[in-house]
Amino acid sequence: MSKLSYKKKAVTPPATLKLREKVFFIGFALLFFGLPAFFLHRRSIHDQTASISKTVQKWKHIYHIDDEKAELIQQIEIDFHGNGSPFSIKPSRTRDEKHRHHEEISRLMSPEDGVHFMKAMEKSEGKH
């Protein structure tokens, strides 16, 4: 028997998925991961907006803010703190940036309430 003569094994082609099966698996993966991510995203944004709204409503009574200015303050808060999405990066703010943020809000209040607001923010170290 010669060394060159050997039986070739039948090579089977690799298993491939049909287009319909690929679409099914991709669709399943999107539903499995995409749907929870979407609901988490929407819920987080809703919670952040509700939290900011609650804070502004509290300030509205304490610092005598009218509805128009309350809406402006709420927008300033959302711009500064973000919309709450878990897929966005929350920037870390310096003490100076926080102070300027509070000054921007205090300028929308009466001078007396603005001073009172700034003192409250300094006392709480900028947490509101």
| pTM, entire model | 0.73
Helices (runs of H) and strands (runs of E) counted in the chain: 5, 0
Q: What is the CA radius of gyration of the chain?
A: 29
Give CA separation, 113 vs 52, 61, 96, 110, in Å: 19, 11, 21, 5
On whether the CB atoms of residues 73 and 56 are closer than 8 A, the answer is yes
pLDDT at residue 57 tops 60: yes
What pLDDT, in 10s, does the model give residues 82-104? 989 988 888 888 999 999 999 99
